[in-house]
Amino acid sequence: MMRLPYLKGHQRSAEGLYKQRLMFLGQPFTEATLLDSIESRLRRDVTAVAKAGYPKDAPNKPAEVFVACACAGFRQDADACGPAVDLAKCSPAHTRAVLDAWMLCSPPNLDDEFLGLARAYAPLGPGLVELYQATGRTIANDSIEALESLATEDAALRAALLHYAAVRTDAPVEHFASFYDSQDERIQLSAVWGALLRHDIDAKQIVRNKAQQTENVTQWGRLLALLGEVEDLPLLQRLAEVEPKQGLPLLALHGRRESVPLLLHALTSAETAESAASAWYRLFGINLPQKPRFAVVDNAGKEEVPVGGETADASAAEMQWEQMREQWPDDERRLYGCSVNAPNLASLALQRAGEQAVDLLDLLLFISGGQVYCHPRLFIEIRQSQLSAYEKPRSEDGKHA
């Protein structure tokens, strides 16, 4: 039996590592190798605590809840589901902790308890559906029927069920089309996404209309960017001009060379330079060099004076573009300097975590017609096993072959 001081050390370490994992998943960019290192140590600490029979103290904070539920999963404790529901009810962060723990290692009887858990605490329902989708598990038909009934009054559950159906080959496009007119935007977004994976023309038109009309431009604009169709470029350009902080990254996600002039112009403005530099990296995979930030003094000499801080060097971007423009075919779509195809996207997704990985994995799912699915919250080790078959070999210079 492990001595108590060492056991408590593993427990505190696991709680701290879980907090780090949440933080890095929420960042725009995290190196996958860094997150993998954190997750490997987290798994080691949880395993050590689970083997010792701990934690025995009642968990309170979300990180403590994660460790307790993960340990119960590793011990294959059939009595773990009931206490987990009570813990999940404390707050959304507690619910997330329970689901994260079960994504790592779930109780042995989760299939049997699934429907009861969803009924016992409504916010658990969507999370459980997402959990099964992420881990490739199949929800029993009788549970699906019961959940469909519950979803008539639960928009979050309905949206989760549509997302679950989106990556299942047996779900026809008509299933998603029946929710196009939903009054809840979460349901609309999920339904349209499922239909887009089936290349439904009506779904594409809905995205275009919504990107122009709705206040939630970012979500609909993101779907438009994922489509990557040249005819949508003017709409995304207008979005980038009106809402540069949200629109410029979407323009880069769209991945067309026609967006470069707008990015170059945005780099020259203090208000948009930071967003433009981020979009430049997303499009080319190159971090622009920095230069001191200056401001023009309104006098006869139009003198520039330093104002502190740094900004991306727009002239360096212009030079880079002059060197690369002839190498970029007019009809090619690129992201991080690579042609958009399944092998390249798999390679990029194996290098990145955080928000960038969400876009990469959704784009990979889209261009594969729903065939290559990997949930962004899965542990990096599992992502590697799922995507390694699609990854493109690298040449000696480190670039994609």
Beta bridge partners of 352: 31
Residue 147 near residue 129 (C-beta atoms within 8 A): yes
- Cβ pair 21, 101 in contact under 8 A: no
Containing H/E element for 83? helix 81-88
Distance CA(219)–CA(173), nearest Å, equals: 21
Q: What does the pLDDT read at residue 396?
A: 36
Which residues, listed in sequence order, are joined to residue 334 by a DSSP beta bridge?
A: 339
Taking only the tens place, the pLDDT of each residue in 154-172 is: 999 999 999 999 999 899 9
SS3 label, residue 124? helix
In angstroms, the CA 203 to CA 206 distance is 5
**pLDDT given for residue 398 in this prediction:** 39
Instruction: Provide the pairing of β-strand 30-31 with 338-339.
Output: unpaired
For 56-80, the pLDDT digits (tens) are: 678 999 999 999 999 999 999 999 9
Q: Could you count the other beta carbons within 10 Å of the beta carbon of residue 221?
A: 28
- Residue 335: which H helix or E strand, with range? strand 334-335
What pLDDT was estimated at residue 294? 61
Alpha carbon distance 109, 72 (integer Å):
12
pLDDT of 261: 96
To which H or E segment does residue 13 belong?
Answer: helix 4-25
Check residue 392 and give its pLDDT: 62
In the chain, % helix, strand, coil (3-state, to 5) comes to 65, 5, 30
Burial (CB count within 10 angstroms: exposed 0-12, middle 13-18, buried 19+), residue 180: middle
Q: Phi and psi of 400, rounded to 5°?
A: -65, 135
- Walking along the chain (401 residues) 10 residues at a time, the average pLDDT comes out as 71 97 95 97 95 78 96 93 95 97 95 96 97 95 96 97 95 97 96 97 95 79 96 93 92 96 95 95 94 62 56 94 94 96 95 94 94 94 90 48 35
Distance CA 256, CA 219 (A): 19
β 352-353/334-335 pair status = unpaired
pLDDT value of position 55 = 61
pLDDT for the residue numbered 389: 79
Q: Alpha helix locations (H) across 168-299?
A: 173-177, 185-196, 201-213, 217-227, 233-242, 244-254, 260-267, 273-284
Spatial separation of the C-alpha atoms in residues 149 and 171, rounded to whole Å: 18
The residue assigned the tokens 């980038």 is: 240
What is the number of other CB atoms lying within 10 angstroms of the CB of residue 314?
21
E strand or H helix at 306, and its extent?
A: strand 304-312
Of the candidates 309, 242, 316, 310, the residue with the CA atom closest to the CA atom of residue 281? 316
pLDDT at 390: 83
Phi, psi (rounded to 5 degrees) for 301: -85, -5
Give the per-residue pLDDT at 400. 43
Q: What is the largest CA-CA distance in the chain?
A: 80
